[in-house]
Structure 1
Amino acid sequence: MTEATTLPTPALPTRRDEAWRYADIDALGRIGTDALDNWREVSLDAGETKRECMIVGSGAPELHRIRVTLGEGARLELFASNAGSDYTRVEVEVTLARGAHFEFGGVTIGGGDVTREFVTTVRHDHPEATSNQTVRAVHWDTATGNFLGEIKVAKDAQKTDAAQDFKGLLLEAGASANAVPQLEIFADDVKCAHGATVGELDETARFYMAARGLSPELAQRLLVQAFIADAFVSLDDEDQHARLLDAALAALEEAPR
């Protein structure tokens, strides 16, 4: 008689794990540990191109995990609007072959006592690959927006060009935005850059817009729209561009004026 073997239930990560340091672990528990093993695989052959636009977030916690493999000269553009009313995490792991390119643009936006985050790991394992990541976060109440971005450049990955840019905009004092850029570089002929800033809405700009007859609501919407549009600037599909912006700006209806 053969006895059935019961595999142990995977444990939830903790905030001691660097990639989960700002995560809502309680909300993750409501999703369930099975989701941790649920990776969506995206593989592009040499020279292939693909664009994907995601609108994520709902009234329940969400975890989206995407593992990407790009062949030589392949290109993936991934854009995401993260405006759910509960914890939402989009996690992307990318491995690039020679001459491949990964483009990522993401927006987290919303209020409540909610964490919304993007977590990326981009591996430059071969020469002449490029990557660019632009993330914008707009939050109020006690909401949090996070971007944890890791770039790994292997010893043989010369001529790598990789960049990350994060900006956070806080509409109330209780909100927060966190950026954790990590660079692990073993090649010497590379260009790798990252930037991160967090600030408040430009009151001078709002004053001048009000002086020209714009309502506070419209002035705020226009300023936020200009701020988050940076994340989608490389998206040349007008319909998808408008769709992502509209999804993000819809959350702004709940923001303080």
Structure 2
Amino acid sequence: MTEGLVLDAPIKEDWRWFDAAPLEALAASPRGDAPDIAHLWIDVPGPRLLFVDGVFDAQGSAPGPLEISAARVKTRANAYTVRACDDAQAGYVLHLRSQAALDGPIQVIHATTGGVAHLSNKIVMQSDAVASLVETHVGTGWSNASLWVELAEGARLMRAVRVLKDRGAHTDYVSATVAKAASFTSTALVAGCRTARIEALVLLCGEGAYGEAGGALLTRGDENVDSATVIDHALPEGTSRQVWRAVAADLSTASMASRAQVRRDAQKTDGEQSLRGLLLKRTATVNLKPELEIFADDVKCAHGATVGELDRKALFYLESRGIPEPRAKALLTHAFVGDALDRIGDETVREAFAADAEAWLEAAL
């Protein structure tokens, strides 16, 4: 499927906005009690997997037909290399046979109580298999998660990941190879994290493949969160979307970098990037970096990037209708973030993510 095709390695400039300063102290922090996670399960059928500090918790899980493999797979070792990591926990390895379809999304909660947990996960889906994955990261300390995805012809995987770690740190890396007529979508929500990075490398290595990577970054206080996504079009008639929204308050920083690469053989590519930032205070910072790298001549690619404040006219209109200013700001900000979260396919999952964003907005405004 991917013979002769490899994902380009990330360049060092892609890491210029990442704040690694807190990681050493967080990695050395002592372990504590596991956080309460009962309310984080979304009320939908499907397998449930719980990992505490990188170790599978069988008592707190309900895997159903899934089998948890103890085999280690590759993990992100540092900013610029990928290799097998001796201190990586197993995580999960999931194989779906041809035309397999699970009853509901696979829910995975990764809870950390301190220190660092290197989480290494892998999903392999054969032709026409369909699955949905919901990942939640909570707790303290630093969680370093890697996900390796291989999609055969016609397979479809929808992934949604949320990070709710308050003063903790999270680094999230997904590498996906997408074959002919297959589809991979990934939507991330970061709503509370001292420092975080969401990274995706998606290789569309079959005709008519679809790839999407986007989400919402919500920052306040002195938090620093960034995303870096690359979708690589290798063969004709591929389609990609990168839709990111950032909301920054106080002295925080949110940064988004998205790149679409179109190789010479990837004619009739359709690619779009939309990066938008919202400043709740002028002391906050939003950095945007859209990129198009095109070597084919029959393509349709577009990108847009804007940073601004809440529309004063819209705010005045809502206030004139009797809506208090904090509530009016929350409504406008929620609609702004909704552009990205609305791309989550499952309605119940989408509503859960929207509720997390709403809770963040109520605290920030």
TM-score, normalised via structure 2 length: 0.63
Is 1:138 the equivalent of 2:133?
A: no
**Residue of structure 2 aligned with 1:183, choices 285, 292, 307:** 292
Write out per-residue CA displacement over residues 32-79 of structure 1, whole angstroms, 9 at most, x where no aligned residue.
Answer: 784654632011110011111111141311101110110110011211
Contact map agreement 1:57 1:88 (CA 8 A) in 2: no
Q: Equivalent residue for 2:361?
A: 252
Say which of 175, 191, 194 aligns to 1:83.
191
State the SS of the aligned residue for 1:142: coil
Matched, 1:45 2:152: yes
Question: Quick check: 20-29 or 88-97, which moved more?
Answer: 20-29
Counterpart residue number, 1:171: 280
Matched residue of 2:22: which SS? helix
Between the aligned partners of 1:111 and 1:130, the Cα distance in structure 2 is 34
Q: Identify the residue that residue 100 of structure 2 maps to in structure 1.
A: none
Q: Point out the more displaced range, 80-89 or 123-132.
A: 80-89
Letter in 2 for 1:244: F
Whose relative contact order is higher, 1 or 2, with alpha carbons under 8 Å and at least 6 apart? 1
Q: Matched residue of 1:155: which SS?
A: coil
Q: How does 1:225-236 map to 2 (within 5 A)?
A: 225-236=334-345
Q: Where do 5+ consecutive residues of structure 2 fail to align?
A: 1-10, 28-75, 83-119, 121-145
Residue 92 of structure 1 aligns with an amino acid whose one-letter code is A
Q: Which residue of 2 aligns with 1:121?
A: 230
Cα distance in 1, alignment partners of residues 200 and 20 from structure 2: 19
Structure 1 equivalent of residue 303 of structure 2? 194
Paired residues of 1:31 and 1:62 also in contact (CA < 8 A): no
For residue 86 of structure 1, what is the amino acid of its counterpart? Answer: R
State the distance in 1 between where 2:340 and 2:231 align: 18
1:34/1:27 CA distance change after superposition, 3 Å: farther
> What do you get for the CA RMSD once the two structures are aligned?
1.8
Residue in structure 1 matched with residue 67 of structure 2 by the alignment: none
Q: Distance in 1 between matches of 2:268 and 2:202?
A: 18
Q: How far 1:27 moved relative to its partner?
A: 3.0
How far apart in 2 are the matches of 1:190 and 1:83?
36
TM-score (normalised: structure 1) = 0.88
Match of residue 21, structure 1, among 16, 19, 27: 16
Separation (CA, whole Å) in 1 of partners of 2:160 and 2:293: 28
Shift of 1:84: 2.0
1:54 aligns with 2:49: no
Q: Secondary structure at the match of 2:296?
A: coil
8 Å Cα contact 1:80/1:244 also seen in 2: no
Comparing 19-28 with 220-229, greater Cα deviation is found at 19-28
CA gap of 1:17–1:105, structure 2 versus 1, over 3 A, is: closer
Rounded to whole Å, the distance in 1 between the matches of 2:238 and 2:150 is 16
Q: Check 1:29–1:131 CA distance in 2 against 1; reply closer, same or farther (3 A cut).
A: farther
Superimposed CA distance per residue, residues 196-253 of structure 1 (whole angstroms, 9 cap, x where no aligned partner)? 0000011221111111111112111110111111113333421111111111222112
* Structure with the bigger percentage of helix: 1
- What is the identity, as a one-letter code, of the residue corresponding to 1:185? I
Cα 1:30/1:47, change in 2 over 3 Å: farther
1:108 to 211, 214, 217: 217
Alpha-carbon distance change, 34 to 17 in structure 1, aligned in 2, over 3 angstroms: closer
Q: Distance in 2 between matches of 1:177 and 1:29?
A: 25
Greater shift in the superposed pair: 70-79 or 236-245: 236-245
Q: Distance in 1 between matches of 2:231 and 2:203?
A: 6
What's the counterpart of residue 172 of structure 2?
A: 64
1:83-142, Cα deviation, whole Å (9 max, x unpaired): 123111110000002111012330001201111111101110111110011111111111
AA matched with 1:81:
L
**In 2, Cα distance between the equivalents of 1:150 and 1:30?**
32
Q: Which runs of 5+ in 1 are unaligned?
A: 1-15
- Partner Cα separation in structure 1 for residue 191 and residue 228 of structure 2: 16
Contact 1:83 1:116 in 2 (8 A): no
Moved more, 29-38 or 174-183: 29-38
